[in-house]
Amino acid sequence: MKTIKLNLSDTEKQQLKKNGLKVTRLSEFAADEIAVLLNTHPQRAKELFALVTFQAIPSIGPKFAYDLMAVECYTLDDVRDKNGPELFNELERKQGFWTDPCVEDQFWLVVDYAKNGPHNKNWWDFTVDRKAYRTQHGYPADRPATAWHQLVSSLLSAV
């Protein structure tokens, strides 16, 4: 079984223990139930539910689960009727910089997983599809001009 990373507060960990639960069991509960079990705010429970749900998908980790939440996706239902390129474009607009193409491959994976159910595909299985799509459609005109690696370089040179 895949290890799920949640960054729980000490209070949330205590509530889990009080209820005789391990992190892996949180996948058995809906967000509103998690809120009650952990005695936490409904929005926090919604985020925990998303982290558990998305990290259960092969090759998806916590950082990308947060990227999904950044584009208002908290459940598989939230992504089922979307597509990888649209979600990727939205993330880049919100971040204000363009990001690594493998992130778009992860969006493709999650949408496919939501539409077709559990499978063992990984994000890199969608690289060919992403490249073909971008060759045909390109990127939107409002794509941010700065690349993620340019931001990292400028931050490092400022240190």
Give the model's confidence band at 147: pLDDT under 50 very low, under 70 low, under 90 confident, else very high: confident
Give the model's confidence band at 3: pLDDT under 50 very low, under 70 low, under 90 confident, else very high: confident
SS3 state of residue 120:
coil
**pLDDT tens for residues 90-129?**
999 999 999 999 999 999 999 999 999 999 999 999 999 9
Structure tokens that stand for 101 in this block: 């193409």
How many whole angstroms separate alpha carbon 35 and alpha carbon 121? Answer: 31
Q: What is the pLDDT of residue 154?
A: 66
Q: Which uninterrupted H or E stretch holds 33?
A: helix 31-38
Q: What mean pLDDT do residues 123-152 have? A: 92
**pLDDT tens for residues 48-57?**
999 999 999 9
